A and B are shown apart, each in its own frame.
Chain A
Amino acid sequence: QKEVEQNSGPLSVPEGAIASLNCTYSDRGSQSFFWYRQYSGKSPELIMFIYSNGDKEDGRFTAQLNKASQYVSLLIRDSQPSDSATYLCASDNAGKSTFGDGTTLTVKP
């Protein structure tokens, strides 16, 4: 079992819909969690960081963390075609980061 598991996808949603991306982790020592967006052939870009249980909102993005269930999610509201990318979930334990394999999202106009 990988330390960080993501739905492999691909995930396809219509423009304007809510995209929901999920991630589970196995290392209970992980303190911080990240969501990165990576366009094809490009570098990852940090879009959300969360370390407390609950929700964290930033514009159209909401990250949710449930440490008891070892679950992290990312919601993208009002999805746009420009949101089409691979989304990487990562955990961090004292500086040592572990990434999932990513979920590819396609937003159809």
Chain B
Amino acid sequence: NAGVTQTPKFQVLKTGQSMTLQCAQDMNHNSMYWYRQDPGMGLRLIYYSASEGTTDKGEVPNGYNVSRLNKREFSLRLESAAPSQTSVYFCASSERRAGSTEAFFGQGTRLTVV
């Protein structure tokens, strides 16, 4: 199925461990995003990439790094996980087309840091 694929779906980390969340889209979108969503809250932008080769900080970038590997893939790395990074992480891609916009989200990664 076309769309945004995130891996893994669930992850438990110990404080101080590192991990990389993978995201790939097959819709030829230029823009990709990483968000986190805490209970009862909206999404907060961590990093975004407007096009292949560019990345920019969002609202809450501290403790994260990203790589736009190519047009399809945008990964998020936690170098030293902290309990405050327990959250649901969503990857998304979007494209502005002829006066409209399409945007799709991955299914989310539920991360728990203990």
Contact = CB atoms under 8 A, between A and B. Distances in A.
15 contacts: A32-B101, A34-B101, A34-B103, A43-B105, A43-B106, A44-B92, A45-B105, A46-B101, A46-B102, A95-B31, A97-B58, A99-B42, A99-B44, A101-B42, A102-B41
A27 to B, nearest CB: 12
Interface string A85-107: 00010100001111111100000
**Helix, strand, loop or mixed for chain A's interface?**
strand
Interface in A73-91: 88, 90
B50 interface: yes
Interface string B30-74: 010101000011111100101000001011000000000000000
A5 to B, nearest CB: 11
Contacts of A100: 42
Q: Which of B42, B50, B56 has the most CB of A within 10 A?
A: B42
**Helix, strand, loop or mixed for chain B's interface?**
strand
Contacts of B31: 95
Nearest to A88: B42
Contacts of A43: 90, 105-108
Contacts of A6: 42
B100 interface: yes
Contact of A44 (B40, B90, B101): B90
B45 A98 contact: yes
Contacts of B59: 98
Interface of A: 4, 6, 32, 34, 43-46, 49, 88, 90, 95-102
Contacts of A45: 105
Given A43-B105, A44-B43, A101-B42, 13 more contacts: A43-B108, A44-B92, A44-B105, A45-B105, A46-B101, A96-B45, A96-B48, A96-B56, A97-B48, A97-B58, A98-B59, A102-B41, A102-B42
A88 B56 CA distance: 23
